[in-house]
Structure 1
Amino acid sequence: MDGHEISDGVVALRRWSTDDAPWYAETVSADPLIQQFTAELPTVTAEDVRSAIRGLLAKPTDAAGFLIADADSHQRLGNIALTYEEAVGDVSYWLADYARGRGIATRALRLFTHWAHTVLDLSELRLWAQVNNTGSRAVAERAGYLRDPERDKVREVKDESWSTVSYVHRWTAPTVT
């Protein structure tokens, strides 16, 4: 998170700004799919989000995240983030309803995955999707993540038990000869 933007010419990942907080809070609280398939709470406020963004911008050593945006218009499209320990990171993402179905999540996950492996030097990225979240599962597979059924489990999310499926992306740094 060096203050730069990561882009493939269609999708851009950029650092969060506290100015993004109202959009984030409004988007997650009003979107039924975000509420159904993520741990985002419907009661999140812009101030809650501003506080989280300030923490992220303070350059923590165990978390990273970007706003997903349109590379040309800069329209806000979603969120992608991870927490990590040692060389392993746990990835999460969501898109606003108007951004879905255009390949944006797959592009964002590919960009983010490459960034996490090369900049943070993470050797393994994992993600979990609710078993019924076919959209997120397809995004993971299109972005090169492999099913990791040994890590499937029931998770407690928002006071509910969710059956989740696991995906993994492993990286071996290229050797220099």
Structure 2
Amino acid sequence: MPLLTTPALRPGALARHPQPDLDAGDLRLRPWRPEDRPAVLAAYADPAIRRWHCRTMTDDEARDWIDSWPRRWHQETDASWAVTDHAGVLGQIGLRAVDLYEAEAAVSYWVLPTARGRRVAARALAALTAWSLDELGLHRLGLRHSTANTASCQVAQRAGFPLEGTNRSAARHADGWHDMHVHARLRTDT
């Protein structure tokens, strides 16, 4: 059945370019490297990250996770950046469920315990948002988190993602079903 709309972004919007480094003031967002594996392992060993991202990771899984990102970039499905400063990896920020036809994606992030309290996630999210909307040309970035995750809600609000509503019992965590806050940022937002 023919569609009455054309793609908002053509295939190749991501894949025709290398994944860029993004500047976030004193932070840099860069593609993952094999030598980042200890930081990924530390992240998924952290109880708070495990609680909200619902997974653990072995050394082999961390290697495969890092190795998967270039393929996902070229397939234009997902992208992830290591959030870094002069001391090393502080966290992760990424685009999930990229839909070029609709020009939208979901955002995910985590911050290592040693970097918390410095607004690392909010600053990284602001940089990724600017690039995604202004340079890549996405129309909408969505963000969901458990209503019990107040820190993630603060990150979203600090980065200009207004709360749109709540999806009831929408995600299963280790302790059961969670209501999820829905935030979004549009290219037309000021």
TM-score, with structure 2 as normaliser: 0.80
Counterparts of residues 21-170 of structure 1 (less than 5 Å) = 21-29=37-45, 31-39=46-54, 41-42=55-56, 44-58=57-71, 59-70=74-85, 73-83=86-96, 84-86=98-100, 87-149=103-165, 152-154=167-169, 155-158=171-174, 160-170=176-186
- Tell me, yes or no, if structure 1 residue 8 matches structure 2 residue 24: yes
Give the TM-score normalised by structure 1. Answer: 0.86
Q: Do 2:52 and 2:173's aligned partners in 1 also have CA atoms closer than 8 Å?
A: no
Maintained 8 Å contact 2:122/2:155: yes
**Higher gyration radius (CA):** 2
Unaligned runs of 5+ in 2: 1-16
Aligned residues: 168
Q: Which amino acid aligns with 1:132?
A: A
| RMSD (Å) for aligned C-alpha atoms | 2.1
Taking the aligned partners of 1:92 and 1:104, their CA distance within structure 2 comes to 13
| Shift in CA distance, 4/82, structure 1 to aligned 2, threshold 3 Å | closer
Identity score, percent? 28
Judged with a 3 Å threshold, the aligned counterparts in structure 2 of structure 1 residues 159 and 101 are, in CA distance, closer, same or farther, namely: closer
Unaligned runs of 5+ in 1: none
